[in-house]
Copies of this chain bind each other. A is one copy, B any other.
Amino acid sequence: MEVKANGPNDESGRIPDGPTKGRIPDGPTNPMVTPLLTDLYQFTMAYAYWKAGKHQERAVFDLYFRKNPFGGEYTVFAGLEECIRFIANFKFTEDEISFIRETLPGSCEDGFCDYLRGLDCSEVELYAVPEGSVVFPKVPLLRIEGPIAVVQLLETPLLNLVNYASLVATNAARHRFVAGKTKMLLEFGLRRAQGPDGGIGASKYCYIGGFDATSNVAAGRFFGIPLRGTHSHAFVSSYMSLDEIVEKSLQSSDGSSSCEDFVSLVQTWLDKIKVIRSGIPNFCAVALALSDLGYKACGIRLDSGDLAYLSCEARKFFCAIEKEFGVPGFGKTSITASNDLNEETLDALNKQGHEVDAFGIGTYLVTCFTQAALGCVFKLVEINNQPRIKLSEDVSKVSIPCKKGCFRLYGKEGYPLVDIMTGENEPSPKVGERILCRHPFNESKRAYVVPQKVEELLKCYWPGISGKAREDLPPLKEIRERCIKQLSKCVLII
C-alpha cells in the first residue's frame, strides 16, 4: 500500500497555493484520511441501502453543532479545505475493497464490491459556510446532497475533519481575545497534542483563529505558517562552564570586523552591569556584546515563577540598560512568557499588569483542555425531496428538517444581526424588506428585521457533476484574515 502525503506537492518543498477553479484539489494533508477512515456502520448501511436498491436515492444531510464551546457565544468554522480535499479524491483502492469485503458478512455480493469500485463523489454536492467564518449553533456548516449510500460513508470523516478544527480555531480566537490584538501569540503545543495530527492540525487551525506563529516545523512546512521558538533548559544545563566555548570569535553583522574573544566581551559587559549573575543580566551582557557587533538579540523567555512581576522587572532592567549605556531600543527587547498558559492565566496577567510581548501557549490551547470536543452532528434532513426529522425527548437534540437556505442579515453599521434559515423553496430575505425571524425552538424569541445587507452563507465548494460554479479554496492567510475580520465585527454581540 502506498499513500502520498499532500502537503507541498512538488519537490522544491514550496507550499502550493489553494486549488483554483476547475482543478481537482490535492488529497488530504494526512494520507491516513482515506474512505476507510469511517465507522463500520457506514459500510453496513451502505450495503443495506445497496441490497434494498435505495443507494442512489437523493438525500440531504446537514452538518452542524448544537452549542458553542467553552461556554462562549461563538464558534470559528474550520476544516473545510481538508473536507474538500477528501471528497475530491474519494476513491477506494482494491486493497480497501478487499478489506471491506472481509469485514462485511460472508454473503456480501460481488455486485456491492463493484459498486464500491465505481464510487466517487461526482454525484455529491457540498455547500458550506466559508472556512474561517464565525458561526452559530444549529445553522448548517456543511450541507451535503447526493446518493444516500455515498453521503453516509462521508459522515464520519467529515465530522472528524470539522469537529476538532473548529474547536481549536475557536479556542485560539478566545485566547487572542483575552491576550489583545498587539501581543504575539505562539502555538507551542505539539508535544502535548493528541497525536501527531492533533499537533499539525492545532498549528494550522490556531493560525486561522488568530495566532501568529507555531513551533511545529512540519506544520510550518505544510502550511507556510511562520515558525518561532526559544531554547530549552537542557541547552543551558548542557554547558558546565565558559571553558567549553572553544570557538570564541564572532564576526560583526556587516562583516566589516571580527571580535576575537566574544566571551570576554560579554564578561566585560557583565562587569559593567554589576549585579548578581542571574538570567536577565547574563542575557543583557550577551545582548550588549552582540549589539557592539551590530546584532540585535531576539529577547528572553520567562517559563516559571510570577510572570507578571518578572516581566515588569525585566522591562525595568532593559530600560535602565538603554538609559545607562545609550543603546536605543534596548528597553523594548522582546519578552516571551510560557508555562501552562490559558485564557484564565492570560486574564490574570492582564489584571496584574505585565510587560510580556509574546505568549507561548501549548497544552491548554491545543488539547482544548476546558472542553476537549465540539459536538458536531450529521443529520438526514431530506430524502427524495421529502423532509426528515430526528425526534427526541431532549428538544436540543431534535433536528431541523428540510434542505435549507442560510443567510446572515446585516444592520445599518455593517454589523451582523442574525443568521436565518429558510426552506430551500421559500423566498430569500431581501435588503430593505422586513422579515420575521423566529427561534426554531422558542416561540417567544422572534423579531422583525429589516436587513441592510443579506449574505448567503452556504456556498458551493463541491458541485459534483451539477455544472454549478465551484468556490475557490482560498490560501490559509486569507482564511485567517476572514476569521480576524469577522471576529472584530462580532465584538458587539459576544
Contact = CB atoms under 8 A, between A and B. Distances in A.
A238 B471 CA distance: 30
A161 B196 contact: yes
A151 to B, nearest CB: 9
Interface stretch (A92-100, A116-124, A176-184, A281-289): A92-100
**Residue among A28, A234, A247, A394 with max Cβ neighbours from chain B (10 Å):** A234
A287 B221 CA distance: 55
B193 A160 contact: yes
B99 A221 contact: yes
B363 A375 contact: yes
Contacts of A371: 369
A250 to B, nearest CB: 11
Contact of A193 (B95, B164, B394): B164
Given A99-B221, A194-B201, A240-B386, A41 B3 contact: no
A108 interface: no
Nearest to A95: B13
A156 B190 contact: yes
B373 A192 contact: yes
Interface residues of A, number: 116
Interface stretch (A44-52, A413-421, A476-484): A44-52
A466 interface: no
B363 A367 contact: no
Contacts of A100: 217
Nearest to A399: B233
A40 B191 contact: no
B13 A43 contact: no
Interface in A166-223: 168, 188, 190-201, 215-218, 220-221
Contact of A192 (B28, B159, B246): B159
Contacts of A163: 191-193
Contacts of A351: none
A327 interface: no
A326 interface: no
How many subunits of this chain does the assembly comprise?
2
Interface stretch (A29-37, A264-272, A439-447): A29-37
A303 to B, nearest CB: 10
A215 B155 CA distance: 13
A215 B36 CA distance: 11
A372 B369 contact: yes
A373 B367 contact: yes
A51 B190 contact: no
A244 B52 contact: yes
Contacts of A159: 191-192
A399 to B, nearest CB: 9
Nearest to A41: B229
Interface in A242-257: 244-247
Contacts of A9: 1
Contacts of A2: 4-5
A59 interface: yes
A99 to B, nearest CB: 5
A230 interface: yes
A78 B404 CA distance: 46
A232 B388 CA distance: 14
A56 to B, nearest CB: 12
Given A197-B30, A238-B148, A155 B191 contact: yes
Given A3-B31, A217-B103, A156 B39 contact: no
Given A3-B31, A238-B383, 11 more contacts: A8-B95, A12-B98, A30-B195, A31-B31, A31-B32, A40-B217, A49-B238, A52-B247, A54-B244, A192-B373, A237-B390
19 contacts: A2-B5, A3-B3, A30-B32, A32-B218, A37-B196, A45-B235, A51-B247, A155-B232, A160-B192, A163-B192, A163-B193, A164-B194, A194-B198, A198-B198, A237-B383, A237-B389, A305-B393, A367-B373, A369-B371
What are the 3 A-B residue pairs with the smallest beta carbon separation, nearest first?
A: A197-B197, A41-B229, A40-B229
